[in-house]
Amino acid sequence: MRSWTASHPRVYISMLTSALAPSISNLSLRKAWEWLAWEPQHRLGTRFLQIAVGLMLLFRVATEGRFYGYLWGPSGVGTGGMTRLFGSTVGGVLDKSFATSTGTLGVLAVLALSAILLISGRVTRLATLGAFLTFFMLEQRLPELPDGGDNITRIVLIYMLFLLPPRANPKQGGLLVWFHNLAVLAIIWQIVILYTTSGIMKAYGDKWHHGVAMYYVSQVEWFSLPALRHMFMNPFVVTLSTYIPMFYQLFFAIALLSPLKLPWLLVGMIFHVGVATFMGLVSFSTVMIGLEGFLISDDEYAYLLALSRGLRQWANRKWRFRRMPAVPSAEQPEVLGAEP
């Protein structure tokens, strides 16, 4: 058996093929059932997502926490509550948290603690429950505050409740594995729905259709950097920056089932780093990068790891060769000790 760190490109190609093979061959019902029932899937992706969601929640608490009284407090801007959704008994009890400043601060403290636990990978199910409950309460308290990133986080946190903790070693084919894999499937479908819906909506929008949408976004104060406004007046820049995200979203589901999956996800991550930098949507981008990382299967992570090791070895060899002193040739013998 050849080592994962073997340097020949064919090894990486065959690894990539075997990593991508399940996503294509699982289209048969029997294999799909086995995928769901037998082994827990996306364990590394799950950790990636937990860390990303934890970072996003921690960022929100760190930046908005000092305004807790103004945003959610007993006399703050937000006056909503959970009674609309959960009735006066359950909803009323939850809403009492916002009746005092201490209670409001307590909600944020639980959210921060849950985020830290998610990042560190400890008691992740309890942490997910704490994060979901407090996050949902804050959202209902001031529904005008959240953005799209919060929307997907709230939904994904529900599915994350069923994911296995990082160090869990459940019985093969057991119900714990089954529910973990159902949650994995739910998160994947939810991401596909997000991208496809957004792509379809863009496709029938006039400004997206005609390739000028990003010009308008770049000129609005809310989501722009003044230094970049002039750049988006260039026809090539604006057309490409409008069409690329639209086609990216439209073909997202197909790309996941194709050999382009990993490059597609990498482009998505780079795109969201750009969104965080230029549009300033840091929390949104963090969770979106987490979701893109979640979509990478364990086999694909193994492939990426092997590839990075191979690249590192290759770079080390190259670097070492460059640093090694030249071997003296017979025609020009080295003369030692001739320097003054």
Nearer to another protein, 120 or 190 (CB): 190
Tokens 């790309």 -> residue:
255
Mind giving me the DSSP string for 66-120?
Answer: GGHHHHTSTTSS----SHHHHIIIIIHHHHGGGGSHHHHHHHHHHHHHHHHHHHH
Binding residues for another protein, per CB under 8 A?
36-37, 59-60, 63-64, 66-67, 69-71, 73, 75-79, 85, 142, 144-148, 151-152, 155, 158, 175, 178-179, 182, 185-186, 189-190, 193-195, 197-198, 200-202, 204-208, 212-217, 219-226, 233, 238, 276-277, 280-282
Tokens (6 digits) for 209:
């259709």
Question: What is the nearest approach in angstroms of another protein to the Cβ of residue 20?
Answer: 24
Smallest gap from residue 106 Cβ to another protein (A): 17
Nearer to another protein among residue 44 and residue 246 (C-beta): 246
Decide whether 150 or 300 has the Cβ nearer to another protein.
150
Name the residue nearer to another protein (CB basis): 193 or 257. 193
Nearer to another protein (CB atom), residue 157 or residue 255: 157
Helices (H) and strands (E) in the chain, counts: 17, 0
* Least distance from another protein to the Cβ atom of residue 110, Å: 19
Quick check: 149 and 281 in contact, CB under 8 A? yes
The answer to whether the CB of 324 falls within 8 A of the CB of 308 is no
Distance of closest approach, residue 288 Cβ to another protein, in angstroms: 10
**Nearest C-alpha neighbor of 155 from the set 175, 171, 136:** 136
Gap between the Cα atoms of 132 and 248, Å rounded: 30
Q: To which H or E segment does residue 127 belong?
A: helix 124-141
Nearer to another protein, 25 or 277 (CB): 277
Q: Minimum CB separation from another protein for residue 327, in Å? A: 53
* Closest distance to another protein from the beta carbon of 280 (Å): 4
